[in-house]
Amino acid sequence: MSLRSKFNLPCSWQGLTTLLLFGFMYMPILVLAVYSFNDSRRYTSVWQGFSLKWYESLLQDTRIFSALQDTLVVAIVAVAISAVTGTLMAIGLFKYTFPGKGLYRGASYLPLIIPDISIAVATLVFLASMAIPLSIWTIIAAHTVFCLAYVAVVVSSRIGSLDPNLEEAALDLGATPTQAMIKVLLPQLMPAIVSGCLLAFVLSLDDLLISSFTAGGGANPLPIEIFSRIRNGVKPDMNALSVVLILASAMIAALAEYIRYKGSTIQD
């Protein structure tokens, strides 16, 4: 007789452990959300009443919106470049065989496993050695490196399950390889491409280390702005901003997973 049935426990120890782990991970986010509505003038654990003033203050903060603009420019441009190059890379690795293919594949996916601090330092050293001045474009170039890898991974996971006979049929009917790729292969990969782009977009929005190492004068992405404000303590308006960013990131990530799931379900 199991311990669960002997003592009539409502759940197993595995379920209890899972609940504790999820509580450990998400309880701080819940506390953060609650105290973003606190009427206190400074960060405190004492509840002083419900208020929306920190969200109102956030909407009137011009520095936050300026930093958000820089962040969106970096994320959109980096993801747009990665969408094209990452998709072509995934297609090339799947369809063609060439010397050093395994080495190239491993090098292409290294940004997924290398710590951000290593990428940031390596990028900064490279830019300094090439005498390239830091600007918003160096941030975009650095973000493209890891965005490219994420897009390529998501597209590669989908391209392996496609029916190659469809593209071969298009070639037999007189289509050129380029036409077959554009009119047959890419429509089938589109859900995976969009899903990978949304995932890369969220990661670019949240990046701090790489942005801080590659940002120059005049470029101030949102993570850097937030970090500069919390050095001397977390203020209540940063709680409100954190809640907004968490919700936005969660919705984009959920949309990416939904698109990927629906695309694989329909085509399978």
Q: Give residue-wise pLDDT tens across range 28-44.
A: 888 888 888 887 776 65
pTM of the model: 0.79
The CA distance from 243 to 38, in Å, is 13
Cβ atoms of 139 and 219 closer than 8 Å: yes
Confidence of residue 81 (pLDDT cuts 50, 70, 90): very high
What mean pLDDT value characterizes the chain?
A: 82
The CA distance from 33 to 182, in Å, is 45
Domain boundaries, the chain: 53-223+233-267
Average pLDDT over residues 132-150: 91
How confident is the model at residue 45, as a pLDDT? 65
Confidence of residue 1 (pLDDT cuts 50, 70, 90): very low
pLDDT of residue 9 exceeding 50: no
Fold classification of 53-223+233-267 is MetI-like fold (1.10.3720)
The CA distance from 241 to 205, in Å, is 13
pLDDT of residue 8 exceeding 70: no
- Tens-digit pLDDT profile for residues 52-67: 888 888 888 888 889 8
Average pLDDT over residues 206-214: 89
List Cβ neighbours of 196 (8 Å cut-off, separation of 6 or more): 83, 86, 150, 151, 152, 153, 154, 155, 256
The CA distance from 118 to 114, in Å, is 7
Average pLDDT over residues 153-171: 80
pLDDT of residue 132 exceeding 50: yes
pLDDT of residue 143 exceeding 50: yes
How confident is the model at residue 3, as a pLDDT? 46
Cα dihedral 119, 120, 124, 126, rounded to 10, equals 10
Task: Give the tokens for residue 248.
Answer: 């936005």
pLDDT of residue 75 exceeding 90: yes
53 closest CA partner among 36, 65, 32, 33? 36
Confidence of residue 7 (pLDDT cuts 50, 70, 90): very low
